[in-house]
Amino acid sequence: MPAPLDQDAIATTLAEAGYFADEGLVTALYLALELGKPLLLEGMPGVGKTEVGNVLARVLGRDCMRLQCYEGIDATRALYDWDHVRQLLHVRVAERAGPVATAELYAPEFLIEMPLLKALRRAGTTVLLIDEIDRADDAFEAFLLEFLSDFQISIPEIGTVRADEPVVTILTSNRTRELHDALRRRCLYHWIDYPDPARERAIVESHAPGIAAEAAARLVDAVAAARRLPLVKRPGIAESVDWARGAMVLERQGAPWPDALRRSLGLLVKDPEDRALVERAELV
Amino acid sequence: MTPAEHLLAGFPGALRAAGLPVDPARAADFLRAVRIARLRDAADLARIGRATLTGSREEFPRFDTVFAAWFAGTPGVASAEPDEETEAPPRDRPGREGVMQVSAGAASGRAASPDEAAGLKAFRAAGEDERRILDGLRRAFAQLPEVRRRRWITAPSGRRIDLPATARAARRTFGETVVLLRQRREVRPRRMLLLVDVSGSMKAQSETTLRFAQALTRSRGQVETFTFGTRLTRVTPALRRRDGEAALARLAVAVSDFDGGTRIGEALETFLATLTHGGLARGALILVFSDGLERGDPAPMIAAVHRLARLGHRLVWVSPLAADPRYRPATRAMAGILPDLDALLPGDSLASLARLPARIAAIERQPRGEAWRAFREEAA
């Protein structure tokens, strides 16, 4: 079992690391650690799904092993591969000295470990982040099932590699594709929503230290209002933090707050039509 | 077991009875979780239940209903609507009044709003001529465009040599490379998105259009279909049925706004506002089957079509009105969207729909936004 953190400890250590999680996420993380099950996170783009994996690794004092999924990803990219070129070279060189045993060719030095295998072998010191699983093909999803339910993988040349403890695993999905039920069944689930104003303010103030209280309040209100507009791309937390930082730069050069916010609006909405909508709504 | 334990142990079963896919492993997780996690009030219990017993956000509303009913009467549960601000599953456009809802197209007994035509849509069986055309469509669909994907697959005539596979094969021949294994990029049909207007003004065409959509869905992967009138309904699952008549019968149940009013702009806005749908449009060949007769302000429709055109690979508007050679897209709405269309094609009958694939194949090779050319003299 991973570090015995209770829910309060998770919430505080995450907050110290700059991640302000709501109670639902804290509960889900706690259960994922205690039950030894993967956690599937879904939510709008930019609400900090990927960041959960990174921060969790930091507060647990572990390495974050990130597997970025993409169309066409397969076992050789995710799990392991043999260094075929080196194997062939080895055969050529070793042949001069005499016969070569095949077993030599499957020595660890020829094995290239990819994130999943690395995570299995270092289960105690790793947080595995399988990012944007919806971008992978459904075949890859099926390939992950054995890993997610038993934390083991079968490799023909080596045998079954099994983790000695459950791997702390976070999966994220942007829902560009419906995930298979079999995958969902093996995971705990949490939907990350946009934060409420108080939490968003805490996030902004921690990531843009030194921002004036009045400006932060104004910014958070404006972001919340912007999310209610029919925008093509609604701003996430990353955008509000960028906006705060941008406005601070302008403010330091002497622009008053409302003006600084208005001029750096491009950091919040990045589509010309969205920008026109936000400007018309006069949020700042 | 104490009564409380009984109550908890029965909860996963209640969810299952309500149709949520709760398997025994999940139920066990829930019961373990209840023992170890902090449990001060019903909101905590709801959070634990959601994390362990649901698998997607769509399941939240049903979960909450069952939760409230099952634990009703338990102290503190009456007020245990899970945290309002962040936890409640938002529709994709929170805070907008009168927003159009997306229905999943399930055959549920939804109450139709007054402006929706009462009763189920009655479809007639396809006639002899229609059958013949439908049967011939398969060949026409073969002309529809394909895309090369990122993924490499093994193929004897591929242009890239698969080095790992070649090396693996060489092991069988003592390290000598005897065969070169090749691979090529995988080719898939281009994603298609069909948006079908089923309002009253399209009454004469919506049925043939849906038959066309069903034939297309059956013969090709990656086809998504939505109907819209006063609401937006995803009908892809219904159209996947092999038998055309059975598919239409299911549609009649799933689509509650047949032959009713139309709000094209709002329907398209709703489509675009749903996060997952943007992904369906991206890079897709989008076909909108509508006469484009928008009541009221055409601005939302024009803006939505503009956005749709930029998301998709090509955007083709199929209108029954375009069958008339004298037709000109002169209404404010149609004139407004014309610059964004890659083609404006006739869709008055199954015969003209059958000619679509060939036209689309040509449109694939053209630059974008060429629809206006066909009506050039008028513009001058």
- Mean pLDDT, range A83-105, rounded to an integer: 83
Question: What are the tens digits of pLDDT across the range B252-269?
Answer: 888 878 888 888 888 898
- How far off is chain B from A6, nearest CA to CA, in Å? 8
Over range B32-36, report the average pLDDT: 92
> Cα–Cα distance between B308 and B311 in angstroms, integer?
5
pLDDT at B88 over 50: no
Identify the bridge partners of residue A113 per DSSP, sorted by sequence position.
Answer: A80
Angle of CA points B342, B345, B351, to nearest 5°: 145
Round to the nearest angstrom and report the end-to-end CA distance of chain A.
Answer: 49
Angstrom distance (rounded) from CA A177 to CA A102: 43
Selecting from B57, B152, B164 the residue whose C-beta is nearest the C-beta of A42 gives B57
pLDDT tens digits for B126-135?
A: 777 888 888 8
Mean predicted confidence (pLDDT) in A89-101: 84
At B262 the pLDDT is 82
**Tens digits of residue pLDDT in A47-78:** 999 999 999 999 999 999 999 998 888 888 89
On whether any CB of chain B is under 8 Å from the CB of A106, the answer is no
Q: Is the pLDDT of residue B98 over 70?
A: no
Does B377 score more than 80 pLDDT? no
Does pLDDT of B92 surpass 50?
A: no
- Taking a C-beta distance cutoff of 8 angstroms, is the pair B217, B239 a contact? yes
Average pLDDT on B199-210 reads: 88
Q: Does A35 touch chain B (CB under 8 A)?
A: yes
Kindly identify which residue of chain B lies nearest to residue A135, measuring between CA atoms: B279
User: A152 with A161: CB under 8 angstroms?
Assistant: yes
Chain A: nearest CA to B180, how far in angstroms? 14
Closest by Cα among A176, A141, A175 to B56: A175
pLDDT exceeds cutoff 80 at A35: yes
Show Cβ contacts of residue A180 under 8 Å, excluding neighbours closer than 6 positions. A138, A141, A142
Q: What is the pLDDT of residue B83?
A: 42
Element spanning A40, H or E: strand A39-43
Indicate if the pLDDT at residue A265 is higher than 80.
yes
Measured between CA atoms, how close is A251 to chain B, in angstroms? 32
Confidence at residue A63, expressed as pLDDT on a 0 to 100 scale: 94
Q: What pLDDT does residue B330 have?
A: 87
Q: Write down the mean pLDDT value for chain B.
A: 82
How does residue B380 score in pLDDT terms, banded at 50, 70 and 90? very low
Nearest alpha carbon to residue B194 among B269, B299, B253, B277: B277
Q: Which of B248, B269, B127, B135 is nearest to B198 (CA)?
A: B248
Name the pLDDT band for B193 (thresholds 50, 70, 90). very high
A95 C-beta neighbours (distance < 10 Å), count: 12
pLDDT at A12: 92
pLDDT score at B192: 94
Chain B residue closest to A81 (CA)? B164
Q: Phi first, then psi: what are they for A61, rounded to 5°? A: 70, 35
Selected residue with higher pLDDT from B181 and B375 = B181
For the residues B329-341, what does the mean pLDDT come to?
Answer: 91
How many Å lie between the alpha carbon of B22 and the closest alpha carbon of chain A?
8
Residue B148: what pLDDT? Answer: 80
Considering only the beta carbons, identify the residue of A22, A76, A232 that sits closest to B164. Answer: A76
CB A243 within 8 A of CB A264: yes
Whether the predicted pLDDT of A3 surpasses 80: no
pLDDT tier for residue A151 given thresholds of 50, 70 and 90 = very high
**Which residues of chain A lie closer than 8 angstroms to B36, CB-CB?**
31, 34
Instruction: Look at A22 and B150 and tell me if their CB atoms are within 8 Å.
Output: no
Comparing CB atoms, the residue among A27, A84, A88 nearest residue B51 is A27
Residue A272 predicted with pLDDT over 80: yes
Tokens 């979780």 sit on residue? B33
Closest by Cα among B117, B340, B122 to B229: B117
Indicate whether B107 pLDDT > 80: no
Percent of chain B with pLDDT over 90: 28
CA of B196: how far to CAs of B61, B118, B283, B292, in Å? 28, 20, 19, 11
Q: CA of A73, closest CA in chain B: separation in Å?
A: 8
B339–chain A Cβ distance below 8 A for any pair:
no
**What is the rounded distance in angstroms from the CA atom of residue B133 to the CA atom of residue B176?**
56
- pTM, two decimals, is 0.71
Judge whether A267 and A284 are in contact, CB under 8 Å: no
Angle in degrees, 0-180, between the axes of helices A23-35 and A7-16, rounded to the nearest 10: 110
Residue B28 CB contacts under 8 Å (≥ 6 apart), including other chains: none
Task: Tokens for B287, please give them.
Answer: 């076909």
Burial code of B51-74, b = ≥16 C-beta within 10 A, e = fewer?
bbbbbbbebbeebbebbbebbeee
Average pLDDT over residues B196-220: 89
* Nearest-CB residue to A193 (from B86, B95, B168): B86
pLDDT at A175 over 60: yes
Q: Which residue of B has its CA nearest to A272?
A: B307
d(CA A221, CA B237): 41
- Give me the numbers of helices (H) and strands (E) for chain B, helices first please: 17, 10
Q: How confident is the model at residue B65 (pLDDT cuts 50, 70, 90)?
A: very high
B60: pLDDT strictly greater than 90: yes
The pLDDT tens digits for A203-218 are: 999 999 988 888 899 9
